[in-house]
Amino acid sequence: MTNVSIFEATVEHFLAPIMSYMRDPDISEIMVNAPDEIYIERQGRVEKTDARFDDEEALLAAVKNVLQYTGKQVSQQQPLVDSRLPDGSRVHVILRPLCRTSTVMCIRKFAKTLLDADRLLELGSWTPEMMGYLRVCVQGAKNILLAGGTSSGKTSLLNVLSGFVPDDQRVVVIEDSAELDFQKPHVLSLESRPPDRWGRGEVTIRELFRSALRLRPDRVIIGEVRGGEALDVIQAMTSGHAGSMTTLHATGGLDALNRLETLAMMSTVELPLHALRAQIASAIDVLVQVTRFPDGRRMVTGSSEVLPLGDDGKYRIQEIFRYEPPAAGGEDRLTWTGQKSLFADQASIRKLREHWGQAGFVFGGEM
């Protein structure tokens, strides 16, 4: 038997109680809180299931056996384990007593069919105007920061936006675990590596990013910034590496900039706050907000452009598209604020006139 088929047999055996969820493409997440308390996320909604493991021993055996095939071990010395299964799914395990009540396992399944731009329109996740606007921003090599909460659709949107990068450009992608999958001719995809169980061999996003800059990229796309690499990313964006895109965990607008600032301060390089803010304000051109609603729907809920730092040393942004909650009986909407884009008069954006599409008015065209 090949390694993969041995792995499949192992999974089949030890994960029998949740196997049907592993196979169901509508299910994106399987959350085992305890042997008899298992939740799933189906099309964005979290539901409790009747599935159960016989007892805690069976759950622990499942966890240990499955992890063994990923080269990871879980024990009282290593009670928190994050790993990736051969099919691309992420698994996270926490042993008792770190979770007081049980061994806990959460499996985030690898979504095989990522959404595309048209599918986002069908789902009502954005409008043709918003799509047109962001397409021009990507083609015009603006630096874009996508912000949203957990599972709000940041990675999916990044994937769609990456699809707008012109085909003749060389793109380097950096991720913690390869999720992005856009069909472009010239892409290098790099993946960071956690330390092994002796703490050796770690390769961070930050190291990969520094490498990436030496690979003559036209664009660098970073799956998510969550640490000191934020400063490197900001500095690269301000020093000629235009058209970069990344995501971060934050609500939109100013909060995203503040969060980026906090991450940049995790870097070992000390920079006066005012200087850091000025760099952030000049690095980031466009902020995009994505939101996951309680009913499981995901939506692009706004976008702003970043202005130079104010005289008071504070960030300033200009909203371009804004989310409007449903009026009585109506639907929620994403609407243009009436603000013209700050880039409207730039030659690179005017050159893209034929691509403005339904977003022309944002760049000063006719409504």
Contact pick of 104, 120, 172, 362 for ligand ADP (by CB under 6 A):
120
From the list ligand ADP, Mg ion, none, pick the one residue 115 interacts with, judged by a Cβ distance below 5 to 8 Å according to partner type. Answer: ligand ADP
Contact pick of 139, 156, 289, 341 for ligand ADP (by CB under 6 A):
156
From the list ligand ADP, Mg ion, none, pick the one residue 217 interacts with, judged by a Cβ distance below 5 to 8 Å according to partner type. Answer: none
The minimum distance between CB 70 and Mg ion, in angstroms, equals 20
Of 279-318, which residues contact ligand ADP (CB under 6 A)? 298
Given a contact cutoff of 8 angstroms between Cβ atoms, the answer to whether 136 and 352 are in contact is: yes
From the list ligand ADP, Mg ion, none, pick the one residue 106 interacts with, judged by a Cβ distance below 5 to 8 Å according to partner type. Answer: none
Contact pick of 132, 140, 153, 302 for ligand ADP (by CB under 6 A):
153
Strands (E), 90-244: 90-94, 104-108, 144-148, 171-175, 187-191, 219-222
From the list Mg ion, ligand ADP, none, pick the one residue 298 interacts with, judged by a Cβ distance below 5 to 8 Å according to partner type. Answer: ligand ADP
Neighbours of 172 (CB within 10 A): 24
Name the residue with the smallest CB distance to ligand ADP: 153
Q: What's the CA gap between 295 and 43, in Å, rounded?
A: 10
Nearer to ligand ADP by Cβ, of 46 and 123: the residue is: 123
Contact pick of 72, 135, 154, 219 for ligand ADP (by CB under 6 A):
154
Q: What's the CA gap between 136 and 128, in Å, rounded?
A: 12
Contact pick of 11, 15, 28, 252 for ligand ADP (by CB under 6 A):
28
Burial of 366 (0-12, 13-18, 19+ CB in 10 A): exposed
Strands (E), the chain: 27-34, 37-42, 45-48, 80-84, 90-94, 104-108, 144-148, 171-175, 187-191, 219-222, 245-249, 286-292, 298-307, 316-324, 333-336
Nearer to ligand ADP by Cβ, of 129 and 281: the residue is: 129
Give, for 72, the enclosing helix (H) or strand (E). Answer: none
From the list Mg ion, ligand ADP, none, pick the one residue 253 interacts with, judged by a Cβ distance below 5 to 8 Å according to partner type. Answer: none
How many residues at the interface with ligand ADP, by CB under 6 A? 16
Q: Is 148 in the site for ligand ADP (CB under 6 A)?
A: yes
Crossing angle for the helix pair 205-213 and 229-238, nearest 10 degrees?
20
The minimum distance between CB 108 and Mg ion, in angstroms, equals 9
Q: What's the CA gap between 332 and 312, in Å, rounded?
A: 35
**45-48, strands of its sheet edge to edge:** 45-48, 37-42, 27-34, 104-108, 90-94, 80-84
The minimum distance between CB 168 and ligand ADP, in angstroms, equals 27
The minimum distance between CB 149 and ligand ADP, in angstroms, equals 7
Nearer to ligand ADP by Cβ, of 56 and 255: the residue is: 255
Nearer to ligand ADP by Cβ, of 2 and 113: the residue is: 113
Neighbours of 239 (CB within 10 A): 11
What is the Rg, in whole angstroms, of the alpha carbon atoms belonging to the chain? 22
Q: What's the CA gap between 48 and 29, in Å, rounded?
A: 12
Q: Is 251 in the site for ligand ADP (CB under 6 A)?
A: no
From the list ligand ADP, Mg ion, none, pick the one residue 148 interacts with, judged by a Cβ distance below 5 to 8 Å according to partner type. Answer: ligand ADP
Residue ranges in contact with Mg ion by CB under 5 A = 154-155
Q: Is 265 in the site for ligand ADP (CB under 6 A)?
A: no
The minimum distance between CB 224 and ligand ADP, in angstroms, equals 7
Contact pick of 16, 61, 111, 265 for ligand ADP (by CB under 6 A):
111
Given a contact cutoff of 8 angstroms between Cβ atoms, the answer to whether 130 and 144 are in contact is: no
Given a contact cutoff of 8 angstroms between Cβ atoms, the answer to whether 340 and 349 are in contact is: no
The minimum distance between CB 243 and ligand ADP, in angstroms, equals 20
Footprint of ligand ADP on this chain (CB under 6 A)?
Answer: 28, 44, 111, 115, 120, 123, 125, 148, 150-156, 298
